Amino acid sequence: MTDSPRDVVVLGAGIAGAALADHLAKRSLTVTVVDPRTPAAGASGRAAGIVTEQLWNPWDVAVTRESREEYRALAEAKEPEAFLSAPFVRLTSEPSVATALHEAVERLRGWGVAVEELRAEELRRWFPQGRFERLAGAIASDGDACVTPSTITSLYLARARERGVETAFGASVDVPHRSGGMWSVVAGPSHWRARTVVVAAGAWSKRLLRDMGRPLPLTPYRTQAAVLRPPGTTSLGGGASLHDLDTDVYARPEANGRILAGDGTEKFETDPDRFITGADTEFLVHLAGSLGRWVPEWGTSEVVGAWAGVCTATPDRRPCIGALDPESGLYVLTGFNGFGVMRAGGAARRLADLIAAPTSESARAALVPVRPDRFGGRADPFPPKAGFTLEGGSHPRF
């Protein structure tokens, strides 16, 4: 039981909630982070950790660039192995997709992203065992990275605690309610009163907001990934990540010559409390076939481990970040469509600016593209869309 009111209670200890707590504490606000599970127990702990600027608009690029530099600084100070500089390569065997890739290069360069088009022989600097005879197009951005999301989450929380943030994990959390002009939050035997509540609960945000009487159109959906050990020395040479646009399979370097690989989205809603946490046989077969298209030896990789997680979609594939009810101090940081790790640091900083100064025009403007009120109060069901696309291009997959 706390004796004094808090400025902010953050509901959720994934990478976004942890980053937000750190940024709020930096602004001298009193903060408590509450989660019925352990930190990064949801999507953050099961994410691939690819951080690339090959994104959809200038807002996403700026937020992701800022996030990457926060992660770099956090890791360099405490856990250097949690951050790996790794170019991000996208490739296709389909001419129409190659045309869209070419268009994307000009668009990305206009936003300040250092991206280049590649020929087959140039891909071999990263993938020397690759077979690229069928290549129709490829692009790469050299300034990207891979991170260990669970470690970055822990580093944010550790620094937040150093700044005075209180954390409470592992106890059932009641639905928050307003009482006496303040929010009342109860977790197990503990109770907090707060001026502001932020829902950053990942796949549980839909249910929580509905029970609070402020629903948003959110769809939790299942994704899958696996760690593979290729035979011999056929790992991701040079430390680059790869994304096959034809199959929506990605692969990124892991320690000890291994690969972390996955594909995108199951196109139906999943209950985050009741889903198959292991990977499906069909997924592993699909993974082997897709990776083996470009590097044949990868198709015979040993499966070291495989799992599933639950991400959260929105109808327009934009996250929901900002004031859901500014009069009552209800804010949200959710709906990242599988790209929460890419955006968490920069998105949290922008939301912290708004919470610290709710009437600031610049703080409001920084979140216009992702305002949660853009749906006009509608919360109709919808299917999630495909994963690692380049929205904004002329091709339907983009």
Q: What range does the domain containing 367 cover?
A: 6-45+149-219+315-375
CA gap 218, 358 in Å, rounded: 25
Same domain, 92 and 115: yes
- Could you tell me if 267 and 224 lie in one domain? yes
What pLDDT is recorded for position 232? 73
Sheet bearing 259-263, strands edge to edge: 115-117, 137-141, 88-92, 241-244, 249-253, 259-263, 219-229, 302-313
Do 136 and 228 fall into the same domain? yes
Spell out the residues 6+ positions from residue 277 whose beta carbon is closer than 8 angstroms to its own: 307, 308
- Residue-level pLDDT at 386: 66
Q: Please tell me the predicted confidence (pLDDT) of residue 385.
A: 83
DSSP string covering 339-364, please? -HHHHHHHHHHHHHHHHH-TT-HHHH
Residues 6+ apart with CB under 8 A from 134: 93, 293
Q: Let me know how long the chain is.
A: 398
Strand partners, 187: 173, 190
- State pLDDT tens for residues 33-45: 999 999 999 999 9
CATH code of residue 26: 3.50.50.60
Q: How far is CA 272 from the centre of its chain?
A: 16
In a domain, 260, yes or no: yes
pLDDT at 255: 84
- Does residue 388 belong to any structural domain of this protein? no
Residue 163 lies in a domain: yes
- Averaged pLDDT score across all residues of the chain: 93
What per-residue confidence (pLDDT) applies to 390? 55
Is 367 a member of any domain?
yes
- C-alpha distances out from residue 180 to 60, 184, 194, 195, Å: 38, 9, 11, 11
138, 246: one domain: yes
Residue 252 included in any domain: yes
Regarding whether 215 and 153 lie in a shared domain, the answer is yes
- In this structure, the answer to whether residues 284 and 246 fall within a common structural domain is yes
Predicted local distance difference test score (pLDDT) of residue 397:
55
Give the total number of structural domains in the chain: 2
- Is residue 290, in this structure, part of any structural domain at all? yes
Could you tell me if 160 and 306 lie in one domain?
A: no
Domain boundary among 313, 336, 361: 313
Structure confidence at residue 388 (pLDDT): 63
Which pLDDT tens digit goes with each residue over 193-231?
Answer: 999 999 999 999 999 999 999 999 999 999 999 999 998
pLDDT tens digits, 84-136? 999 999 999 999 999 999 999 999 999 999 999 999 999 998 999 899 999 99
pLDDT score, position 3: 55
**Residue at 254: amino acid letter:** E
Task: Verify that 16 and 124 share a domain, yes or no.
Answer: no
Q: Are residues 170 and 230 in the same domain?
A: no
Residues 216 and 201: their CA atoms lie apart, in Å, by: 13
Question: What's 233's domain CATH number?
Answer: 3.30.9.10
Is 93 part of any domain? yes
pLDDT at 286: 95
pLDDT above 60 for 165: yes
pLDDT value at residue 264:
67
Average the pLDDT over 258-271 and give the result: 90
pLDDT tens digits, 226-252: 999 998 755 555 589 999 999 999 999
Provide the sign of the torsion angle of the four alpha carbons 59, 62, 67, 68, taken in this order.
positive
Segments of 120-235 assigned E as strands: 137-141, 145-147, 166-169, 177-179, 182-187, 190-199, 219-229
- The residue among 391 and 101 whose pLDDT is bigger is 101
Same domain, 286 and 323: no
- Over residues 298-356, the pLDDT tens digits come to 999 999 999 999 999 999 999 999 999 999 999 999 999 999 999 999 999 999 999 99
**pTM of the full structure:** 0.96
| 27 located within any domain | yes
Does residue 297 share a domain with residue 155?
A: no
- Cα distances (angstroms) measured from residue 293 to each of 24, 78, 135, 246, 384: 46, 39, 10, 11, 27
